[in-house]
Amino acid sequence: MRKGIAEERDLVNKLDRLGFAVLRAPASGSRTKLDRPDIIAGRVGLHLALEVKSTHQKTLYVKKESIHQLMRFAEKFGAKGLLAIKFKHQCPDWILLDPSLLTPTEKGYKINLKSAIKTGIGLEALVTKKITDYS
Amino acid sequence: MRKGIAEERDLVNKLDRLGFAVLRAPASGSRTKLDRPDIIAGRVGLHLALEVKSTHQKTLYVKKESIHQLMRFAEKFGAKGLLAIKFKHQCPDWILLDPSLLTPTEKGYKINLKSAIKTGIGLEALVTKKITDYS
C-alpha cells in the first residue's frame, strides 16, 4: 500500500464534496513509465493534477523529478498542476501550492509550514476564488 | 487483476502516443463508492472519461449502471464520456462510442460490431476530427 494512502482518500472525499469528479492513480505505479499525478480532479472549467505530499516535519522536501513529471502531465492534459500538502499534526487542513512557489534545493525543492500557509490556498478556495486551469 | 487490464494498457499507450496525458483508475475499485471511469485522458481542449469494454462476441452488452455512472462522472468532471470498445479477434482497433448510440435492453444497453463500426470513431479521429468535451 502506498505511503499516505489514508491521506489521499481524505483528500479525494473532500474534493468530491466540493463538487469535483475525482480519479486516484493506481497504488502500484511500477508498470508504467508515463508521467502521472496522484489525483486528477475536475469540475466544469477547472481541472487539477495533484501530487499529494505529507510530512511530520516543519519543512517539506520534494524531489525534482516528482515536480517535473507533475508539471509535464498537467501541461499535456490541460490542467493546473498543484501540490496538495498535509503537514501532519501541525495543520489540520490541506494546503494547495503552485510548485513555482517552492524553494529550489540541490536535489529538488522545499517549503516550510509557515511559507506554505502564507502562499498556498485551502481546498475551499478552489470553489470560492477564481482559479484557472493554467499555472 | 481486473479483467481486460492488458487491453486497458494497450489503450493507455495508444492515447499517450496520440498526445494525451492519461490516468488509469486503480484496479481495485471496491473501496470507494464514487463514480469513476476506467481511464481519463486529456489534451488541451479535449478531456475524455472512458469506460473500457471488450468482448469475444459479436454483440457487446453493457449494464445500465456502468453507463450511467460514466455519464455522471463525465458531466461533473467536464469531460466527454465515451465507451472504448474492443471486439476481440474481430476488429483490431479500438472503437470509441458515444453511449447515446447504444440500443437499450431490459437490463442495460447493447451494440453489435457492425453498428459500432458504423457509428463509432477510431482513436485517430480524436486528433484529426473536431471533437468537443460535451456529448
pLDDT, tens only, B51-97: 999 999 999 999 999 999 999 999 999 999 999 999 998 988 999 99
Q: Which chain A residues contact residue B78 at CB under 8 A?
A: 21, 42-47
| Candidate from A25-29, B16-20, B107-111, B122-126 with smallest mean pLDDT | A25-29
Task: Tell which of B73, B77, B135 to mutate to test the A interface (max A CBs under 10 Å).
Answer: B77
| Candidate from A88-92, A110-114, B4-8, B70-74 with smallest mean pLDDT | B4-8
Interface of A with B in 60-89 (CB under 8 A): 73-74, 76-79
The interface predicted TM-score (ipTM) is: 0.88
B26 touches chain A (CB under 8 A): yes
B31 pLDDT more than 90: no
Residue A132 banded pLDDT, cuts 50, 70, 90: low
Residues A85, A118: Cα–Cα separation, whole Å? 13
Establish whether B28 is a catalytic residue. yes
**B40 touches B21 (CB < 8 A):** no
Q: What average pLDDT is seen over chain A? A: 90
What is the per-residue pLDDT for B45?
A: 87
Q: For residue range A22-69, list pLDDT tens digits in order.
A: 999 887 655 567 899 999 999 988 999 999 999 999 999 999 999 999
Residues B17, B30: Cα–Cα separation, whole Å? 31
What is the per-residue pLDDT for B121?
A: 95
What is the per-residue pLDDT for A1?
A: 43
**A8 touches A84 (CB < 8 A):** no
Task: Tell which of A2, A13, A73, A77 to mutate to test the B interface (max B CBs under 10 Å).
Answer: A77
> In whole angstroms, what separates CA B58 from the centre of its chain?
17
What is the per-residue pLDDT for A2?
A: 55
Burial (CB count <10 Å: 0-12, 13-18, 19+), residue B101: middle
Task: Please report, rounded to a whole number, the percentage of residues in chain B having pLDDT higher than 90.
Answer: 75
pTM: 0.90
What is the per-residue pLDDT for A135?
A: 42
Backbone angles phi, psi at B41, to 5 degrees: -130, 140
Mean pLDDT of A98-126: 96
Which residues, 6 or more positions from A51, have their beta carbon under 8 angstroms from its beta carbon? A37, A38, A62, A66, A67, A70, A81, A82, A83, A84
**B72 touches B35 (CB < 8 A):** yes
What is the per-residue pLDDT for A133?
A: 63
Residues B47, B21: Cα–Cα separation, whole Å? 10
